[in-house]
Amino acid sequence: MINNTYIHIPFCHSKCKYCSFISYCNYKYVDDYFKSLTKEIQHYYKSESQKTLYIGGGTPSSISITKINEIIDMFKFDENDCEITIEINPNDINEKYLSELKSTKINRISIGVQSFNNDILKIIGRKHTGFEAINAIKKLNEAGYKNISLDFIYGLPNQTLENFKNDLKLAINLDISHISLYGLKIDKGCYFYKHKPQNLISEDEQSVYYNYACSFLNKNGFKQYEISNFAKDGYFSKHNINYWHCGSYYGFGTASCGYNGNIRYQNNTNLKKYIENPFEKETEEVLTYNDKLYEAIILGFRMACGVNVKKINSQFNIDFEKKYKKQLEEYKSYIKKNKNGNYYYLTRKGFLLSNCILSEFCDD
């Protein structure tokens, strides 16, 4: 039984200079894409009631709500307990869009703000201003949305710690419930990869921004519940928590990943190939016992609460403390045990070194 779904909408009006996500600026494929998406959902979805549906991108808000709603209506939902999220770009919010949005079951909004600073927004190729982002949030509030998440990036070209502090200060004074923070990563495929900005800060400097943000947000009512995510009580993202608990999920649309508890797959990342055959997988792998154990450890340590020792012991028939004695000892200043002794978690310093620390838990 799969109760969580991710749907990828791979269209953006323009490409931001830091972004390597799968998205295309050619909207002539939209109709064909939605036909294939519909076929894929009809083929695989077994009518289970969904607890979460996440419509991400790309820029889902650049597509008509009618089209998005036709997809949402293909699913059954747990009416009292469902989280339906859409990613929205600030420049897509207007009165018409809002009134159409209100007629859907969408109850969680994720807005890509990145920064409120206009100079930075321009440099990174965003098509909105800081003022437009604030205005979009206020309009969503007026329309009754409470569950609003903002995405920010730190380490952007020309960004100073002062700029970033200002972004966070502005954010917490808005009527929002969730913040996701990402350190800038320049991956193959984005504009900045070939045209590296001169004035980027180092990873060590990024950690100064991260530390500041963690303390500031925690002080201001946003609990850090995951390495990059902060929320007010009651607003932790159910969709993402399912990922971090190694839950199963459908992934529909080009480049989407899915997991049924045993097999992990990724759909075709090439738009044309996906449109031609939405059933063909680009990759498909059966996870071994070791894969699943390593994943449970990595994802568990991403969360602030950490790895649940009892759960992992019974799920994998291990003695966690015995099996990983060496690693827990070696990284004891970064991995701590909670008061009740039933969770091991990474400290903030541990979060910053998580890639290095967690690779030591890999058995292969």
Ligand X SMILES: C[S@@+](CC[C@H](N)C(=O)[O-])C[C@H]1O[C@@H](n2cnc3c(N)ncnc32)[C@H](O)[C@@H]1O
Q: Are strands 229-231 and 178-183 parallel, antiparallel or unpaired?
A: antiparallel
The Cα 74–Cα 259 span in angstroms is 20
Among ligand SF4, ligand X, none, the one that 68 touches (CB under a kind-dependent 5 to 8 A) is none
Question: CB–CB of 150/179 below 8 Å?
Answer: yes
CA-based max dimension of the chain: 59
One symbol per residue from 162 to 201: x for binding ligand SF4 (CB under 6 A), - otherwise; what is it?
Answer: ----------------------------------------
Among ligand SF4, ligand X, none, the one that 177 touches (CB under a kind-dependent 5 to 8 A) is none
**Is residue 59 a contact point for ligand SF4 (CB under 6 A)?**
yes
CB of 87 to ligand X, least distance (A): 5
One symbol per residue from 71 to 110: x for binding ligand SF4 (CB under 6 A), - otherwise; what is it?
Answer: ------------------x---------------------
One symbol per residue from 161 to 200: x for binding ligand X (CB under 6 A), - otherwise; what is it?
Answer: ---------------------x-xx---------------
In the list 6, 50, 58, 121, the residue contacting ligand SF4 (rule: CB under 6 A) is 58
Nearest 5 degrees, angle CA 354-CA 357-CA 360?
Answer: 140
**Is residue 278 a contact point for ligand SF4 (CB under 6 A)?**
no
DSSP string, 102-170: HTSS--EEEEEEE-S-HHHHHHTT-SS-HHHHHHHHHHHHHTT---EEEEEEES-TT--HHHHHHHHHH
In the list 7, 9, 16, 53, the residue contacting ligand SF4 (rule: CB under 6 A) is 16
Give the residue from 71, 56, 57, 41 showing the smallest Cα distance to 278.
41
Instruction: Extract the runs of DSSP E, i.e. beta strands, from the chain.
Output: 4-9, 49-50, 52-57, 76-77, 83-88, 108-114, 148-154, 178-183, 223-226, 229-231, 250-252, 257-259, 263-267, 281-286, 307-308, 335-337, 343-346
Q: How far from the centroid of its chain's Cα atoms is residue 177's Cα? A: 15
CA-to-CA separations, 267 to 4, 106, 258, 321, in angstroms, rounded: 17, 25, 8, 37
**Is residue 15 a contact point for ligand SF4 (CB under 6 A)?**
yes
Strand partners, 335: 346
Among ligand X, ligand SF4, none, the one that 151 touches (CB under a kind-dependent 5 to 8 A) is ligand X
Neighbours of 124 (CB within 10 A): 22
**Is residue 251 a contact point for ligand SF4 (CB under 6 A)?**
no
Q: The tokens of 244 are what? A: 């971090």
CB nearer to ligand SF4: pick between 16 and 71: 16
**Is residue 21 a contact point for ligand SF4 (CB under 6 A)?**
yes
CB of 89 to ligand X, least distance (A): 5
The Cα 254–Cα 23 span in angstroms is 9
The Cα 36–Cα 135 span in angstroms is 35
Residues of this chain, 89-128, that bind ligand X according to CB under 6 A: 89, 112, 114
Among ligand SF4, ligand X, none, the one that 15 touches (CB under a kind-dependent 5 to 8 A) is ligand SF4
Taking contact as CB under 6 A, which single stretch among the options 10-18, 42-50, 157-165, 355-363 is the one that binds ligand SF4?
10-18
CB of 11 to ligand X, least distance (A): 10
Among ligand X, ligand SF4, none, the one that 348 touches (CB under a kind-dependent 5 to 8 A) is none
Positions that interact with ligand X (CB under 6 A): 18-19, 21, 56-59, 87, 89, 112, 114, 151, 153, 182, 184-185
* Residues making contact with ligand SF4 (CB under 6 A): 12, 15-16, 19, 21, 23, 57-59, 89, 112
